[in-house]
Amino acid sequence: MPSHKVLVKNTVWAFVAQIAYILVGLTGNIILARMLSPNEFGTVGIAMFFIGISNVLVDSGMGGALVRKENPTALDYSTIFLFNLAVSIVLFLLCLLISGYIAVLYKTPILRYVLIALSSTIIINAITLVQGVKLVKNMSFKKIGLYRFVSLLMASIVALIMAFLHYGVWSVVALQILSALFLSIIYRVKEGGIDKLVFSKTSFKEMLSFGVFTTLSSLMITIYDNIYQMVIGRFFNINSAGFYYQSKRLQDVMDAPTKNVLYNVVYSYMSGLQSDVANFKLTHLNIVKLITIGISTITCLVILYADQIVLILFGQKWLNSAFYLQLLSIASFFSLMEIVYANLFRIFNKTQRLLSLEITKKIIQSITIFIGIYYHNIGYLLYGLIFTSIIGYIVAVILSKKVFDLKDKKEHIYFLMIISFAAFATLATYFTFSIFNVDNYLKIPFVILFLIINFFLLYLFKVENVFQVFKNFKTLNKQTH
């Protein structure tokens, strides 16, 4: 059974590695955004929709099945590698076939060649999936972070050089392809390959029983998570798709550390606590509290400072992205909280619940998308996304009670208190802006006011002493070295 020290150590490494990766990606994206247009980013965003779907199908939930399996064999890894590779080749060829039709649909000829080029990453990513799974299984998050950091750094340097040489949209395309290629090379050199290529039907069927539901669930998540740039590009314009794509990437940057910890560290750690019910419940409650505090704080700060964030990072021409960023941050809050409970379905192999959850969400989301298209209003599209995310969180909580006996209502009381305090701190800070007529960059120092109000309320009502949490976290981390 893994210890709390293991969880702390790997959480720290996952965060540090992810933040380093984010800083490189964000820096490269900032420079590219100042040199390129929303139209060019919108074109890449539409192409990446198809790449994202393909990557989900290539994995087919097999990676999660291997992580969950207690003692996977070399035959298991070989089987999944061959499956991933075969599916990636088929999907690569399919992208080649549809590229022309997609370009015609969006009235953007260059989109055909962008999609063809980016399709190469499908095969490249498939080759590295098994090595990545092995590292996650062994909780080697330090290695994962280092490999991803180096690969993205090298790719970003090449992409920036291309942008300075006026290669336009191909600079962004090169960034995607080269980061995948460099990571594949590093994995091969440092972690080796598959010793013996053998396909086992027995192993495949075992993995498939877990993977089929997670694949369908992940596929729906990927489609609907990226469908807005497709809809905006088709029914509005490519420029607006570019604004959305940039705000979505920025939101993903802020979400990535939390998702990385939830999907990898927490999932792997909690899987080892299945037999210790009391410890499992206590750990789950603490995770709910800390995750809620962390992401509610970030969400409220984004709502308050979206304009300043966009202006500082990307410049005046991208200011329209701020509105999208505010709404996406609210939707993201509930989506991240949903993951906390959806992890329970994976841990206890009730992945059919995931599918039920996603079907419910997507029915609602489809209706809101049609409403946005009908009224030709991008705001309606994103308000619909927020509504869907809230429903998804509520359904995940309800279904999780049927998977694992969590009758303690403390976590729900804490959740409501935490978001109420964060909302109050946001309103107090906003009214301070209005009363003292604070504008633009002068608003930034008031972050301190928001944090003081929020953390004081958490302490006053005995929800959590945030400063003590940081102190304990730091102490435990030192003990792991």
What span, in angstroms and rounded, lies between the C-alpha atoms of 322 and 326? 6
In the predicted model, what is the mean pLDDT of residues 285-306?
A: 87
Lookup result for tokens 């260059």: 110
pLDDT at 475 over 50: no
Comparing 292 with 471, which gets the higher pLDDT?
292
Lookup result for tokens 């049927």: 402
In the predicted model, what is the mean pLDDT of residues 67-85?
A: 81
- CA torsion through residues 307, 313, 316, 322, sign: negative
User: Position 81: which residue type?
Assistant: F
406 confidence band (pLDDT: 50, 70, 90): low
Which segment of 143-147, 156-160, 418-422, 468-472 scores lowest on mean pLDDT?
468-472
Tokens representing residue 367 in the block? 């209706």
User: What is the structure's pLDDT at 8?
Assistant: 62
Residues 298-311 as b/e (b if ≥16 CB within 10 A, e otherwise) read bbbbbbbbbbebbb
pLDDT tens, 28-38?
888 888 888 88
9 confidence band (pLDDT: 50, 70, 90): low
User: Position 393: which residue type?
Assistant: Y
User: What is the structure's pLDDT at 11?
Assistant: 63
Percent of the chain beyond pLDDT 90?
26
Residue 140 DSSP class: -
- pTM value is 0.76
pLDDT tens, 252-272?
888 877 887 787 778 777 777
Comparing 196 with 240, which gets the higher pLDDT?
240
User: What is the structure's pLDDT at 157?
Assistant: 93
User: What is the structure's pLDDT at 476?
Assistant: 40
In the predicted model, what is the mean pLDDT of residues 110-116?
A: 94
170 contacts 162 by C-beta, under 8 angstroms: yes
Comparing 41 with 21, which gets the higher pLDDT?
41
DSSP reduced 3-state for 32: helix
Comparing 374 with 357, which gets the higher pLDDT?
374
User: What is the structure's pLDDT at 2?
Assistant: 53
336 contacts 355 by C-beta, under 8 angstroms: no
User: What is the structure's pLDDT at 464?
Assistant: 62
pLDDT at 469 over 60: no
- Residues 364, 369, 373, CA angle at the centre, nearest 5°? 150
pLDDT tens, 169-193?
899 999 999 999 999 999 888 887 7
In the predicted model, what is the mean pLDDT of residues 412-418?
A: 79
pLDDT at 400 over 70: yes
In the predicted model, what is the mean pLDDT of residues 110-120?
A: 95
Domain regions of the chain by residue span: 1-239, 273-481
- CA torsion through residues 198, 200, 203, 209, sign: positive
